[in-house]
Amino acid sequence: MVGIIGYGAYIPKYRIKLEEIAKVWGKNPQEVISSLGVAEKSVAGIDEDAVTMAVEAGQTALRMGGVSPSKIGSILVGSETHPYAVNPSSTIIGETLACGNNYLACDLEFACKAATTGIWLTTGLIESQKIDYGLVIGSDCAQAKPHDVLEYTAGSAATAFILGNKKNEVMAEILDFATFSSDTPDFWRRDGIRYPAHAGRFTGKPGYFAHVIGAAKKLFQKSGTEPSDFDYCVFHMPNGKFPKRVAKILGFSFSQLESSLIVEKIGNPYSASSLLGLCQVLDQAQPEAKIFFVSYGSGAGADGFIFQTTKNLMKKRRLAKKVAEFIKNKSYLSYAQYLKIRRKI
């Protein structure tokens, strides 16, 4: 019975409205907002990065899980924006969280699905009895070149999950999983280049939709389930339109999806995106709820999971600040402040 025994989220308080960005570049704000389905995005502070946000989320996950940091057997950190090109984020996080020295540390990269790959790997380590508990983190200060379309959605946030297999601790069991991968270079950043590049509309049909639908159909087939079997669905949120469209294509209703939709208010924090949607669902789900989940990472691949909540969820989640509380706590920036705080000038 491998599953989530604790989770944590962190969203910086700073926001910038898409209207503010659009005005600077002479764009029609309403057209931009309508085309992306996003109104504002989160921005990491000048003293924040993927590691500091990961520590905030990790502390919450440990507190909710009720696990001593010294019992963590692995720390896997998924991010596109590790602070160092050579120097692991995972060991900095492990040191700060007082996890000792006896843990497997690994930084993962696979665009926006790096952290869900970490969930796969950690599940295997627990099932094979190599470790008792594992910490998986998805954290990003998403990068975007000024005046690029990505600038309107690239956000900042972190999530952390403690996985274990004790029945009296698991709050959301992993019932099944599937994955779908191909060499589809819809998004990339070569070594030494500051900002990522992308293939525009090519990122849609052959990228996001092909892989999310591929993983979802494989998961339905493997588990013998269909959309009506689930209380919630969660998908990666590169913008406000893609998750709604893919949910409809797969046969899910908007009521199954809406609890996870956070992109309109914080943008796309890359490896934390779909997992923040999962956190928000866990913040409000009842015991025995089934959750259908598919992440997406450019390059390209998608990881699908089926989670089922347990009675342990109700008491444990009281120990953490909810995603909705982070979203409400905000302070707006001007475009000039945004450029300065993200060191673009």
Active-site annotation, residues: 80, 112, 236
**3-state secondary structure (DSSP) of residue 128:** coil
How far does CA 150 lie from the centroid of its chain? Answer: 17
Beta strand 133-141 with 72-78: parallel, antiparallel or unpaired?
A: parallel
Q: What's the Cα-to-Cα distance from 126 to each of 2, 69, 117, 166, 308, rounded to whole Å? A: 7, 16, 15, 11, 18
Q: What's the Cα-to-Cα distance from 59 to each of 116, 246, 273, rounded to whole Å? A: 19, 33, 19
Q: What is the DSSP string of 130-146?
A: S-SEEEEEEEEE----T
Element (H, E) at 116: helix 114-127
Of the candidates 287, 286, 3, 319, the residue with the CA atom closest to the CA atom of residue 172: 3
CA torsion 263-266-267-270 (nearest 10°) is: -90
* Cα angle for residues 103, 296, 207 (degrees, 5° grid): 140
CB contact set of 336 (below 8 Å; sequence gap of 6+): none
The secondary structure of residue 171, as a DSSP letter, is: S
Phi/psi-derived region of residue 183, left when phi > 0, alpha when psi is between -120 and 50, beta in every other case: beta
